[in-house]
Structure 1
């Protein structure tokens, strides 16, 4: 797993954006970060002429909305990530504000928390990610049981995809850690990874070498969950940023929301235009007011309706301001999800639930 020199990448991207950006402000109009720091052209020109501005990229959520709305098709997200990488390589950024999140990531991949289990003859594993098993334990267990009914020789891998490290621009560290994870999966004979987390899906899709990566929503569409009752009411579907450019996944999720009985109402910020929940890029640890402003946009879009999303992180971030629910909770526990009685552990309890899932898998997946 290799990448070009960050400074070279950044200069090439900056020149492309300086020459291609027309300063139409389509991206700036939708982004708190660009509203404060200027157009992509202004940022690119600043770097090319003075060599400054790299640290500003840590106030960008890396949500990709700017790239989506750019009429010139410029790689704006890649530009801001390259700025982060160059700033990290130059030693200009302290990791102290991000220490808790990096520790959470590291602990998730530790020997205590991790598990690599694949039955004989199997080649597919479920990779639930860090957040879903801890914050949505009942749903994770039900999902795993359903997946194993569909794929009897399905394995389970509990670890971390290291997206925080990646998005902070620590590319060399990411290459080592995610590379070691891939090496272990290949040594096990894994050819397919099923993800429930959009961030894990994005990382495995980009860096997973020859692995086939699918979401659990594909399996659920092929093998629907039988439910005795449906829920009712209007909702808006919040698209997690990693799914922004994938129309197939967006449509799959919308149909699943409809199948629960909820009515997903259309807005001008559906699908690829969904605002970031505010958690992206770890901006909230550096500029909490910017992260809150993005989250506020998502809440205003909901306008009192239920927000359904397929990301456990989005649920956690939005729940303080709106009624946000996870689609998988709705699929497996519709009544308890809508009544608010489905447990959502927090803090240290999330680690206990992740360990319980590991212990259960040790006993049942051989």
Structure 2
């Protein structure tokens, strides 16, 4: 059976962080921030440093200091969601990061581990592209999901094949870390090369397993339709409504797709199809909290990252917490009862509750290599 999931256009995971704005984001906030302080009440960075307008106005006298401050923002866009005047402080902070990189300012030293992760993720050792005959759609699971849930990644691919038998798969890094750290030229170069590779092979649709990959694919214009594996599955596969009957859960929506309401609904549809009863936290969907991983903040200010994390964990209380981002799953592991959606989709039938899991960095690399080897072996059998 072939389906056509709800498309996510090139700018649609909800007003994603753009490359530039006219006028500049700094000038926009200098002129238009009304100091209502609604965003300040929700964000510790702003609470400690003033309104977005105050920060923007201090740029004229202390540009280096303000550019350094930009790396304390999680780029989660909660400020934009809250702002009654439709301003985007996170866009200003992203723009300042790009400016810092272009000027050669050395603010990225603390992020070397993250950039190394990205570099290895794009290495040929882990990359893989498999396109069946007549393939027009590829599954792009992303680094984190493949590393954290290798068996579930393969099972998810097979489940997607029941919906669209000719779907292919691409293992690669989306390079969103570079984008978020302000390495715009590097990101654009890698993004363009990836898009050209897929266009030459007549791919028309990209199905991601990772919300951050979805956002990365939605930053620059292209001709592909982008959706998630969960939107592709919702309503198109039969699930067991008795599987987790009697269990109650809350869904943590990743901040990277804060404004993607269709995806929020599709994930909840799958949870209900598995028999789960949903209770919504106060901060859900477009009002979700960042898990603490956003923007690479934890590499320069662990306290800020931990505070975002604690906010989410406290609000979730002791109930089962379901998310559909491998990064969020790892970041929220201190909750003790957090699960990726694929944990529920492919849970062992012998267990009436999903089992929480974490992996080490070494295990993650080993898992990614194992997924590539398994895919290559399966391809060889078909030849």
With normalisation by structure 1, the TM-score equals 0.93
Q: Which runs of 5+ in 2 are unaligned?
A: 1-17
- One of 17, 39, 45 as aligned partner of 2:57: 45
In the alignment, structure 1 residue 318 sits paired with structure 2 residue 332: yes
Aligned partners of 1:7 and 1:265: how far apart in 2? 37
Counterpart secondary structure, 2:321? strand
Residue of structure 1 in register with 2:313 after alignment: 299
- Note if contact 2:249-2:322 (Cα within 8 Å) is conserved in structure 1: yes
Label 1:7 to 1:339 Cα distance change in 2 as closer, same or farther (>3 A): closer
In the alignment, structure 1 residue 347 sits paired with structure 2 residue 333: no
In the alignment, structure 1 residue 247 sits paired with structure 2 residue 261: yes
Aligned partners of 1:51 and 1:343: how far apart in 2? 43
In the alignment, structure 1 residue 308 sits paired with structure 2 residue 309: no
- Note if contact 1:278-1:295 (Cα within 8 Å) is conserved in structure 2: yes
Shift of 1:82: 0.3
- Note if contact 1:54-1:83 (Cα within 8 Å) is conserved in structure 2: yes
- One of 113, 130, 136 as aligned partner of 2:149: 136
Of 24-33 and 227-236, more deviation after overlay is shown by 227-236
Residue of structure 2 in register with 1:172 after alignment: 185
Write out aligned runs for 1:138-217 (5 A): 138-207=151-220, 209-217=222-230
Shift of 1:332: 2.1
Label 1:295 to 1:7 Cα distance change in 2 as closer, same or farther (>3 A): closer
Residue of structure 1 in register with 2:122 after alignment: 109
More helix per residue: 1 or 2? 1
Residue of structure 1 in register with 2:81 after alignment: 68
Residue of structure 1 in register with 2:43 after alignment: 31
Q: Which runs of 5+ in 1 are unaligned?
A: 1-5
- Note if contact 1:33-1:60 (Cα within 8 Å) is conserved in structure 2: yes
Aligned partners of 2:275 and 2:19: how far apart in 1? 51
Shift of 1:225: 4.1
Q: CA RMSD in A?
A: 2.1
Of 258-267 and 349-358, more deviation after overlay is shown by 258-267
Shift of 1:207: 2.2
Aligned partners of 1:168 and 1:306: how far apart in 2? 33
Aligned partners of 1:35 and 1:124: how far apart in 2? 45
In the alignment, structure 1 residue 238 sits paired with structure 2 residue 259: no
Aligned partners of 2:267 and 2:345: how far apart in 1? 11
Aligned partners of 2:345 and 2:60: how far apart in 1? 50
Counterpart secondary structure, 2:250? strand
- Note if contact 2:251-2:323 (Cα within 8 Å) is conserved in structure 1: yes
Shift of 1:278: 0.1
Residue of structure 1 in register with 2:71 after alignment: 58
Counterpart secondary structure, 1:106? helix
Aligned partners of 2:297 and 2:86: how far apart in 1? 25
Aligned partners of 1:21 and 1:334: how far apart in 2? 52
> Number of residue pairs matched?
361
Aligned partners of 1:187 and 1:304: how far apart in 2? 49
Q: Spell out, residue by residue over 1:169-198, the C-alpha distance to the aligned partner (whole angstroms, 9 max, x if none).
A: 010111112221112111222111000100
- Note if contact 2:131-2:167 (Cα within 8 Å) is conserved in structure 1: yes
Residue of structure 1 in register with 2:97 after alignment: 84
With normalisation by structure 2, the TM-score equals 0.89
Write out aligned runs for 1:2-13 (5 A): 12-13=24-25
Shift of 1:296: 0.4
Of 93-102 and 116-125, more deviation after overlay is shown by 93-102
